[in-house]
Amino acid sequence: MQGDRFDRAAEIFRKHGGVLRTGEALRAGIHPGTLYAMRDSGLLERVSRGVYRLAGSPPLGNPDLVTVATRIPGGVICLISALSFHELTTQIPHEVHVALASGAREPRLDHPPIRTYRFTGQSFTAGVETHDVDGVGVRIYSPEKTLADCFKFRNRIGLDTAVEALRSYRERGGIRVDELMHYASICRVKKVIQPYLEAIL
């Protein structure tokens, strides 16, 4: 009987890429007793507080992004973390950079370390892409939106980081100037970014 419950619960986990938050697991029909029994018997691994994955699943390629996406579903991966995801920086982020809507509650995670930024209106909603990372949908700003954000937050992340990312974007090819300037306009950094863009084109 317990084996059947475990099998059904494991199938629900597999349908969700092997990773679920406690609330998502319960809404999907897994009984709390089953969830905790699976955890206690080693069938589930705790990724972070309230986030579980099937034991024996392939190792997560990016466990930090998966954890942040599941724990902060309303957030968007931004700035250095988005640059790293899009391979536009040589920097290795030591924290996951997350954009939050201006009124959102500050999240509390024991791991990974996060750095939050408050975005308002279109600067929060524009340019969001959903990428499949280890079977989990992770919301990340597009390369062009991320570049505009980097110039907007240049005092916090460093102008050199923003300029290096812009050069990497240019060297990669497929540069979309109109899109980049559209987001620069939303972020009110059109005049800031223009001379750097002209210098590398």
Residue-wise pLDDT tens digits, 24-66: 888 989 998 898 888 888 889 887 778 888 887 777 778 889 8
Domain containing 12 equals 2-54
**Structure confidence at residue 138 (pLDDT):** 93
pLDDT of residue 111 exceeding 90: no
pLDDT of residue 186 exceeding 70: yes
Contact 165, 149 (CB under 8 A): no
Domain count, the chain: 2
User: Are 22 and 72 contained in the same domain?
Assistant: no
User: Are 41 and 68 contained in the same domain?
Assistant: no
Q: Write down the mean pLDDT value for the chain.
A: 89
pLDDT of residue 14 exceeding 80: yes
**Structure confidence at residue 81 (pLDDT):** 95
**Structure confidence at residue 1 (pLDDT):** 52
**Structure confidence at residue 189 (pLDDT):** 96
**Which of residues 28, 54, 80 is at a domain's end?**
54
User: Are 123 and 183 contained in the same domain?
Assistant: yes
User: Are 38 and 69 contained in the same domain?
Assistant: no
d(CA 42, CA 44): 5
User: Are 45 and 67 contained in the same domain?
Assistant: no
pLDDT of residue 74 exceeding 80: yes
User: Are 196 and 128 contained in the same domain?
Assistant: yes
**Structure confidence at residue 2 (pLDDT):** 61
Percentage above 90 pLDDT, the chain = 50
**Structure confidence at residue 185 (pLDDT):** 96
pLDDT band of residue 13 (cuts 50, 70, 90) is confident
Counting Cβ atoms within 10 Å, is residue 3 exposed (0-12), middle (13-18) or buried (19+)?
Answer: exposed
Higher pLDDT, 85 or 50: 85
User: Are 142 and 105 contained in the same domain?
Assistant: yes
User: Are 44 and 91 contained in the same domain?
Assistant: no
d(CA 109, CA 30): 24
SS3 59: coil
SS3 18: coil
User: Are 112 and 178 contained in the same domain?
Assistant: yes
**Which of residues 54, 81, 97 is at a domain's end?**
54
Q: What are phi and psi of 62, to 5 degrees?
A: -140, 75
Residues 123-175 have pLDDT tens digits of 999 999 999 888 788 999 999 999 999 999 999 999 999 999 999 999 988 88
User: Are 75 and 174 contained in the same domain?
Assistant: yes
Contact 164, 84 (CB under 8 A): no
User: Are 47 and 68 contained in the same domain?
Assistant: no
User: Are 160 and 73 contained in the same domain?
Assistant: yes
